[in-house]
Amino acid sequence: MVNMDRKTVIVGIVVIAIVAAAIGFYAFYVYPQKTQGSGKIVVKDDMGRTVILNKTADRVVSLAPSNTEILFAIGAGSKVVGVTEFCDYPPEAVEGVKNGSIAVVGGFASDISIEKIVSLKPDAVFAYYGQKSVVEELENLSIPTVVFNPHNLDMIYNDITIAGEITGMNDGAKKVISEMRNTVNYVESHVANLPAKKVFFVAWGNPLMTAGNDTFINYLISLADGKNIFSDSSGWPTVSMESIVARNPDAIILTPHCGLTKKDVLNNWSNEINAVKNGSVYVIDDDILVRPGPRIVQGLLAIAEDIHPNAFEEKSYNLEVTEQWAVAAP
Amino acid sequence: MGSSRTVKWSFVLFLIFLTPISIFSALMIGPADIPFKTVISTLFGGGDEISRVIVLDLRLPRVLTAFIAGFALGTAGTMAQAVFKNPLGDPYLLGISSGASLGAVIGFMINFHLVPLLAFIFAIIVSILVYSIGMAAGGKPTTLILSGIAVGMLINSIVWYLILSLPNLHGIYAWFLGSFSTVMWPQFYIILPSLFISIGMIFLYRWLNLLMLRDEEAMSLGLNVNVARTIVIIFIALITAVVVAVGGLIGFVGLVVPHICRLVVGANHRYLLPSSMLFGGIFLLAADTVARAGSTEIPVGIITALMGSPLFIYLLVRSHVKG
């Protein structure tokens, strides 16, 4: 070991700090400005990655249903050349796949075809958290790829802004965000000061699975002035009927794909549960609850209207599902 | 095995004695905080509405179902190890697990309520397929096992392909690991027949003893080996398919419980079969009680392996040390 005196160490630290600050200043301030001046587009995605495009993208590929919904909502639908097999909204996207103007590049992660994406010659790809290996390959191929992984509404707004910048649909993005904010304000103004309702969300009927505190649904439930009865757990926990009875939810929210119908719950579950006794069992389309895109605020509105029925003059969301929907269209 | 007849009978009697105790204890435990006294009074017709719902409508059917499932898997596992003459004999060897998985996944795709029925039907169909192929290839125990492995791989590849197309993977994985989380009285009535069939299997203990011998020896002792083997396999398939339909693929119990009991009572099915049944029931009941005790559930298949493996390793090493 070299024996350094204290002075040398301090000087060393100061030098390193100055160099680091200079690099940081260049990377986060000078470089972006330089590139902005040159017409380049620089964005920082949800994974903290800086993505640079030389010009506005004219051909984009979406690797998640929520990304597809964002792109179509901001008016960039005509630029979408590739989607996943799960991208079933809006109808224009489905129509595009049908008439061949949009290609399907795969499912979620391992079954995404890089070759197919490359053949579409995209200017940018919109990926999602969990597609790490795909993103790395696209980076190696020098295809600009942004990764979305929003945890709250502000992050969704940010993702929409990024999508607007990349596709040159900044105004469209602003419009979508302001509409979303209006819906959120509408909900918040109606449920403010109401006592929170205890909510049980059924993610899956057998075994019974629900959403924990780190899920988007938990976040939406609290925004709608509800209290997820399993917010003391995380992820997608399996729960027992006994703990549901013991925690006694005021409202139960099902999805069309959870395997249980309103009738199943009302007929087979104990009347000791307030929600069952009062018939407060609702079905909300899971797409608007789990996809972090523009429609997420409809999910918020649907939850709020269901759990606080007296707070709203009229119900704008009503999904009557009498028969269980198939989990997957064969 | 060195243990005397007295030891063997005492073990069986001890398990018989332990059964009601473990059922009572399990009824006391759950995520809802209900005092001991309230549970007792509820069981004897008292209690308020909420404790009646929790103890009588939720805990009681689940506790009994878990016990019966373990009882049946212990029985089927013991029979499988005898009929396949293989220590790795498992009730799932016959293609039952892959068949049930296929049925369950198809159920998840078309209609959720069909999952138990389709799991049962496909378990039976695939085990018939495995058995027919095994018989066409000579019908020896090893051939049957290999046929089960081959058909299992084929069916599993279809299952995994279908699973990839399903959007909700959590639920299916949870089913694969086994769970009694939605069990109420209807599921209890579905699984009840496997209890009676399992008890009936005690009368086959002589066959099982003979099936463990070489086929020629068994025949010289008057057993029609092929007929006996077929009948035993049919019962294994029936018992296991019923359990799988209700609880999903609960592993470990059918494989390890018979071994644990064999270390205590020896290889004679007169003692081994009743021990494995009762120990399987108590063991799975204990595992499910742990699985449901917290505010969220743990798949019971994970608990059975976590609880059972150390016990099994201990007994294995000890039996070797004792010689």
The mean pLDDT of chain A is 88
Residue A29 lies in a domain: no
Lowest-confidence range among A269-283, B53-67, B96-110? B96-110
| Chosen domain end from A154, A178, A202 | A178
Quote the percentage of chain B above a pLDDT of 90: 53
- The CATH number that applies at residue A77 is 3.40.50.1980
Instruction: Report strand pairing: A124-128 vs A145-148.
Output: parallel
Lowest-confidence range among A31-45, A262-276, A288-302, B41-55? A31-45
Judged by CB atoms closer than 8 Å, whether chains meet at B54 and A327 is answered as no
Q: Which of residues 157-186 of B touch A (CB under 8 A)?
A: 164-168, 170-171, 174-175, 179, 181-182, 184
**Cβ(A281)–Cβ(A249) under 8 Å?**
no
In this complex, the residue of B108, B175, B295 whose CB is nearest that of residue A243 is B295
Instruction: Record the tokens describing residue B75, joined without a space.
Output: 């029985």
- Tell whether A144 and A50 lie within a shared domain: yes
The total of structural domains in chain A comes to 2
Angle at A206 between CA B287 and CA A300, to 5 degrees: 125
- SS3 sequence, A210-226? CCCCCCHHHHHHHHCCE
**Cβ(B274)–Cβ(B12) under 8 Å?**
yes
CA distance B22 to B28: 10
Question: Which is nearest to B240 in space by CA: B89, B21, B38?
Answer: B89
What pLDDT was estimated at residue A326? 40
Alpha-carbon distance A77 to nearest alpha carbon in chain B (angstroms): 24
Question: Which is nearest to A87 in space by CA: A72, A99, A75, A101?
Answer: A72
> pLDDT by residue (tens digit) across A139-165?
999 999 999 999 899 999 999 999 999
What pLDDT was estimated at residue A323? 46
- Tell whether A49 and A174 lie within a shared domain: yes
B167 to chain A: which residues are within 8 Å by CB? 86, 257, 327-328
Interfacial residues of A (vs B; Cβ cutoff 8 Å): 86, 107, 111, 203-209, 230, 232-233, 236-243, 245-246, 257, 259-260, 268, 270, 272, 324, 326-328, 330
Judged by CB atoms closer than 8 Å, whether chains meet at A257 and B57 is answered as no
Alpha-carbon distance B115 to nearest alpha carbon in chain A (angstroms): 9
- Tell whether A169 and A250 lie within a shared domain: no
- Tell whether A48 and A149 lie within a shared domain: yes
Average pLDDT over residues B148-163: 91
Confidence of residue B307 (pLDDT cuts 50, 70, 90): confident
- The CATH number that applies at residue B238 is 1.10.3470.10
* Residue of chain A minimizing CA distance to B161: A111
Average pLDDT over residues A238-249: 93
The total of structural domains in chain B comes to 1
In this complex, the residue of A205, A233, A245 whose CB is nearest that of residue B32 is A245
pTM: 0.80
**Cβ(B130)–Cβ(B240) under 8 Å?**
no
Residue A206 lies in a domain: yes
**Cβ(B258)–Cβ(B245) under 8 Å?**
no
Average pLDDT over residues B19-33: 94
> pLDDT by residue (tens digit) across B180-201?
988 999 999 999 999 999 999 9
B31 touches chain A (CB under 8 A): yes
Judged by CB atoms closer than 8 Å, whether chains meet at A238 and B297 is answered as yes
**Which of B48, B112, B183 is the best substitution to test chain A (most A C-beta atoms within 10 A)?**
B112
Alpha-carbon distance B63 to nearest alpha carbon in chain A (angstroms): 12
Residue A317 lies in a domain: no
B323 pLDDT exceeds 60? Answer: no
Alpha-carbon distance A313 to nearest alpha carbon in chain B (angstroms): 35
- Tell whether A166 and A234 lie within a shared domain: no
Helix (H) / strand (E) element for A209: namely strand A208-209
- Tell whether A174 and A209 lie within a shared domain: no
Residue A278 lies in a domain: yes
If phi over 0 gives left and psi between -120 and 50 gives alpha, with beta otherwise, what is residue A259?
A: left
> pLDDT by residue (tens digit) across A18-28?
888 887 777 76
Q: Among all chains, which residue has been given the structure tokens 């997420």?
A: A296
A125 beta partners: A61, A145
Residue A9 lies in a domain: no
A230 pLDDT exceeds 80? Answer: yes
Residue A6 lies in a domain: no
Confidence of residue A72 (pLDDT cuts 50, 70, 90): very high
What pLDDT was estimated at residue A329? 32
A4 pLDDT exceeds 70? Answer: no
Alpha-carbon distance B15 to nearest alpha carbon in chain A (angstroms): 28
- Tell whether A67 and A134 lie within a shared domain: yes
B57 to chain A: which residues are within 8 Å by CB? 270
CA distance A237 to B298: 8
- Tell whether A50 and A173 lie within a shared domain: yes
Judged by CB atoms closer than 8 Å, whether chains meet at A239 and B108 is answered as no
Average pLDDT over residues A266-276: 93
Confidence of residue A31 (pLDDT cuts 50, 70, 90): low
* Residue of chain A minimizing CA distance to B30: A242
Structural domain boundaries enclosing B267: 5-322
B179 to chain A: which residues are within 8 Å by CB? 207, 238
Structural domain boundaries enclosing A64: 44-178
B219-226 long-range contacts (CB < 8 A, ≥24 apart) are B226/B139
Confidence of residue A322 (pLDDT cuts 50, 70, 90): very low
- Tell whether A159 and A240 lie within a shared domain: no
**Does A5 or B77 have the greater pLDDT score?**
B77
Average pLDDT over residues A307-327: 67
A237 to chain B: which residues are within 8 Å by CB? 296-297
A29 pLDDT exceeds 70? Answer: no
Angle at A209 between CA B281 and CA B170, to 5 degrees: 90
Angle at A305 between CA A301 and CA A161, to 5 degrees: 5
Question: What ipTM did this prediction achieve?
Answer: 0.77
Beta sheet of A80-83, edge-to-edge order: A103-104, A80-83, A60-62, A124-128, A145-148
Question: Which is nearest to A201 in space by CA: A140, A153, A258?
Answer: A258
B101 touches chain A (CB under 8 A): no
B116 pLDDT exceeds 80? Answer: yes
B129: Cβ–Cβ under 8 A, 6 or more apart, which residues? B95, B151
Question: Which is nearest to A87 in space by CA: A68, A115, A108, A112?
Answer: A68
B49 to chain A: which residues are within 8 Å by CB? 272
**Cβ(A259)–Cβ(A283) under 8 Å?**
no
**Cβ(B239)–Cβ(B75) under 8 Å?**
yes
